[in-house]
Amino acid sequence: MATKLMLEQWSDWLEPGSTRDSRLLHSDESDRILVCPPHLGQGYRQEISLRDDLSLVIENYRLDRNLIIDIPSHNSFVAFGFPLTGVDARHSLFDVCFGLREIHIKQSHQQNFKIEIVFKQSTTAIYLQEFMARLFPQTHHIAEQVIRSIYRYRKGYLASSTKEMLERVLQDTISVDSHSSQATLEQVLNGTVYPEIQDIEYARHNLISATMERVIGQILSCPYQGTTRRAYLKQKALNLVTLYFEEGMLRSRLNKSDLNYIYQAEKILKSQSINPPTTEMLAKQVGTNRFKLNQGFHQIYNTTPFGYLRDYRMRKAKRLLMTSELSVEAVAAAVGYKSRSNFAIAFRQQFGVNPKVLQMQVRQEVS
């Protein structure tokens, strides 16, 4: 069973805590401590201000029930996450908030332990541009489409360059009552662009290297207090961000011919997602063999060709559930599933909630 929370601020589902909480690995009176209410689970969120535009967050909690958190984002931010437990453990994550309404699904009975480095609005464009500069050409094109779509939605027209649109979108101050803050990304992007953003989803994941692990350990075991603690944690946080981008550069060393056959295979899978070819047939169509095809997909997307197809189908299904009047059965058929139960299992594995539950929650919001 899922509990839906409609909030004004992300932290509104948490309660104020104490810097003397024995669960904290280290603390200072200036830290902001929030705790999970007993009826939802247990754990905490620790926010450490390092400078005006930069915060370090340490989260460690476990939920007793699934949560669907519906929240309008006020202003943009970028975050670098380093999960130590859960499905994303061993991977560092880049995240960007464009000031759109977001619906987060948080799964129960999983320990969520991670650190996060958050840059506020004044420096978001710098890090997003750095992230985009390291994308493969096709993924970079998708990112530009996303930015153009959000800008057109906000302004009603397009500016002269993607860079200008990106900076304006990120610098917009969003009020709670504005129309822009009530729209989700699923509603802003059309049915063609939205499923494509899974390529960005893959690109934002990097492996946590041994060097990253060492820095994370130093952050969690910080021995200092006061201004020395802040300076130490700021240095380590910025070091982690640098390491994130360095790790991403290692993945981008594929030659043009390898990229071409992977992109061709990706295009075939998307165009034939209802009745896809076998891996052997797909490899033959793009002029390679099964081993090289699987290897290429793992290098770029960290999954197999059919893991990629599954993710594409699920993302397309999520948008249909949130924006259309189609039944769950019709959505399942639209993404290539003959069995509603098999579709529900795949969707739940991907997003942590049954498709019908998500659909009902979104429709309740609209009504």
Spans of all domains in the chain:
2-120+206-248, 125-203, 254-302, 306-367
As a whole number, mean pLDDT of residues 75-84 equals 92
Query: What is the per-residue pLDDT for 242?
Result: 96
pLDDT of residue 174: 55
Looking at residue 251, what DSSP letter applies? Answer: H
Identify the band that residue 73 occupies on the pLDDT scale cut at 50, 70 and 90.
low
Q: Is the pLDDT of residue 367 over 70?
A: no
Confidence of residue 180 (pLDDT cuts 50, 70, 90): very low
DSSP code for 277: P
Question: Sorting pLDDT into bands at 50, 70 and 90, what band is 248?
Answer: confident
Q: CA nearest 104: which of 207, 196, 7, 174?
A: 7
How far is 358 from 355, CA to CA, in rounded Å? 5
256 token code pair: 């043009």
Q: Per-residue pLDDT for 10 more than 90?
A: no
Average pLDDT over residues 16-36: 97
User: Which one of 28-42, 112-126, 173-187, 348-362 scores highest in mean pLDDT?
Assistant: 28-42
- Taking only the tens place, the pLDDT of each residue in 270-301 is 999 999 999 999 999 999 999 999 998 988 88
For the whole model, what pTM was predicted?
0.88
pLDDT at 251: 62
**How many whole angstroms separate alpha carbon 62 and alpha carbon 66?**
10
- pLDDT score of 179: 40
Between CA 172 and CA 74 the distance in angstroms is: 9
User: What pLDDT does residue 333 have?
Assistant: 96
What's residue 1's pLDDT? 64
Pair of tokens at residue 156: 């009603």
Phi, psi for residue 47 in degrees, rounded to 5: -110, 120
Q: What gap in Å lies between CA 152 and CA 146, rounded to an integer?
A: 10
**Distance between CA atoms of residues 194 and 187, nearest Å:** 9
Kindly give the residue spans of alpha helices, DSSP state H, lying in the chain: 124-133, 137-155, 162-171, 185-188, 193-196, 198-203, 210-220, 226-251, 256-271, 279-285, 290-301, 305-323, 328-334, 340-351, 355-366
Exposure string of 335-358, with b = 16+ CB inside 10 Å and e = fewer, is: bbbeebeebbebbeebbbbbbebb
Token representation of residue 121: 């609005």
> Which pLDDT score, from 0 to 100, does residue 169 have?
84
CA of residue 255 relative to chain centroid, distance: 27
Tens of pLDDT, residues 37-46: 999 999 999 9
Q: What is the mean pLDDT of residues 182-202?
A: 90
- 25-29, 31-35, 58-62, 271-275: which has the minimum mean pLDDT? 271-275
- Tell me the HSE value of 338 on the side-chain side, using a 13 A CA sphere: 1
Percentage of the chain exceeding pLDDT 90: 64
pLDDT tens figures, 114-156: 999 999 888 898 999 999 998 888 899 999 999 999 999 888 8
pLDDT for 178 beyond 90: no
pLDDT of res. 176: 47
Q: Which CATH code, of 1.10.287.3510, 1.10.645.10, 1.10.10.60, 3.40.50.970, is assigned to 306-367? A: 1.10.10.60
pLDDT at 66: 87
Answer whether 7's CB lies under 8 Å from 71's CB. yes
Residue closest to 214 by CA, chosen among 111, 88, 82, 48 = 82
